[in-house]
Amino acid sequence: MRYWLMKSEPDAFSWGGLVAKGAAGEEWDGVRNYQARNMMREMGMGDRVFFYHSQSDKAVVGIAEVIATAHPDSTTDDPRWECVDVRAVAPLKQPVTLEMCKADPRLSEMALLKQARLSVQPVRPEEWAVICDMGGV
């Protein structure tokens, strides 16, 4: 099982929105960036995903899991774009903010900090553990 982080603007699609979808989950559509798409192609069933709110929150707020591997993005006819489906697993008891990640030297190599604009990114197991710990899960 691998670990990932996916960003969303809470005004467009929030953690609460994913929770509301329940076990059926939701397509992670709308990605129009090759690097991000390639990450999704590598995802496997059951992989864990940090749900990150950009803009106002700038924090990891929940944990989701992959329930369908990469398939065509239903929001476009362009065959280049694919997406996975995810569902909510659990919220973080305490959101882990970007500021907290920046402050922790163990997270200094995270893509979140080094490639701010990449919306789908891999997370190392040790980074996953640190953030879960800070998040109270």
Partner DNA sequence: GCCAACGTTGGC
Instruction: For 16, list phi and psi in degrees, rounded to 5.
Output: -60, -35
| CB of residue 46 to DNA, shortest distance in Å | 25
Instruction: For 110, list phi and psi in degrees, rounded to 5.
Output: -60, 145
Q: Which stretch, 13-21, 26-34, 60-68, 88-96, contacts DNA (CB under 7 A)? A: 26-34
Does 9 help bind DNA (rule: CB under 7 A)?
Answer: yes
Does 34 help bind DNA (rule: CB under 7 A)?
Answer: yes
| CB of residue 74 to DNA, shortest distance in Å | 18
Burial label, 63 (beta-carbon count in 10 A; 0-12, 13-18, 19+): buried
Number of residues that this document lists for the chain? 137
For the record, the structure tokens of 120 come out as: 């789908």
Which parts of this chain interact with DNA (CB under 7 A)?
Answer: 7, 9, 32-35, 54-55, 58, 98-99, 102, 112, 115-119
